[in-house]
Chain A
Amino acid sequence: GAGVSQTPSNKVTEKGKYVELRCDPISGHTALYWYRQSLGQGPEFLIYFQGTGAADDSGLPNDRFFAVRPEGSVSTLKIQRTERGDSAVYLCASSLRIGGGIHEQFFGPGTRLTVL
C-alpha cells in the first residue's frame, strides 16, 4: 500500500476484555514498530520487529501485552484483560531495515483504544 495502515481506527472495549490491533506496514519494509501515545504525551516505544522476530520488546509494560508478526509483514498487537489505563492511541511504524543507511520511520494513523 501507499502508507502504513492500522485497523480499527477506534476501538471501545470494557475492562477485562481482550483486544487485537492490526498494523499493515509499507510494502517491502522489514522493520515494524509499535508505540503508545497517551493524551498530551509523546509516543512511547513498545516493541519492534525485524522480519518475523521481535528484536526489542523492552517497552511492553507487562505480560498482558503481546505482539506477533508471523509472516514478516502484518503485525497484531494483543492486549489481554484490558485495564482503563491501557486507553491510549496505539501507533505503528515501519522502515526499510534496521541495520545501516537511512531508515526513516513512517507512521500509521493509529488506533484509539478506549477501555471503559
Chain B
Amino acid sequence: KQEVTQIPAALSVPEGENLVLNCSFTDSAIYNLQWFRQDPGKGLTSLLLIQSSQREQTSGRLNASLDKSSGRSTLYIAASQPGDSATYLCAVRAGGTSYGKLTFGQGTILTVHP
C-alpha cells in the first residue's frame, strides 16, 4: 500500500526566505506526482505535476523535483511571500490497478511572516 509522508508538518519563515518542502513515498511505481496548495476552508489548487519520466517542473517561483528511485520529491519556493501561506500537499498517482487515484500526504502548513 502506497504511503506518502511530508516533512515538516509545519513551517514558519520570514518573508523573502527560500524554502524546501519534502515529500516521500514508499512505492516507486508511480505514474506522476502532483503538488497542491490548499487555503483554509478551500479546495485544492494544482501547482505542479511531474510525470514519472521527468526530473523536475518549474512554475514561476516554484520548482518541484522528483527522484522516483528513492521515492522523494521536493518543492522549492523562492523568495517566499506572505501570500504563499497555505497548506501544501503532495500526491502520487499509482500505476497498475490503482491507476486513477491519488494518494496524498498529510500536508505541510506554511506560514510566511511579513
Contacts and interface: CB of A to CB of B under 8 A. Distances in A.
A110 B38 CA distance: 11
A98 B95 CA distance: 11
Given A42-B89, A43-B44, A107-B43, A102 B102 contact: no
A102 B104 CA distance: 18
Nearest to A49: B100
Interface residues of B, number: 24
B106 A105 contact: no
A48 B43 contact: no
B102 A104 contact: no
Interface in A53-85: 55-56, 58-59
Nearest to A112: B41
A46 to B, nearest CB: 9
Interface in B27-49: 32, 34, 36, 42-46, 49
B105 interface: yes
The 9 A-B pairs with the shortest beta carbon distances in the complex, nearest first, are A42-B104, A45-B101, A107-B44, A48-B100, A109-B43, A107-B43, A42-B106, A104-B49, A43-B104
Given A42-B89, A105-B34, 5 more contacts: A35-B102, A42-B107, A43-B104, A56-B98, A110-B42
22 contacts: A33-B102, A35-B104, A40-B106, A41-B106, A43-B89, A43-B91, A45-B102, A55-B99, A56-B98, A56-B99, A56-B100, A58-B98, A91-B43, A91-B44, A98-B99, A102-B32, A102-B49, A105-B34, A105-B46, A107-B46, A109-B42, A110-B42
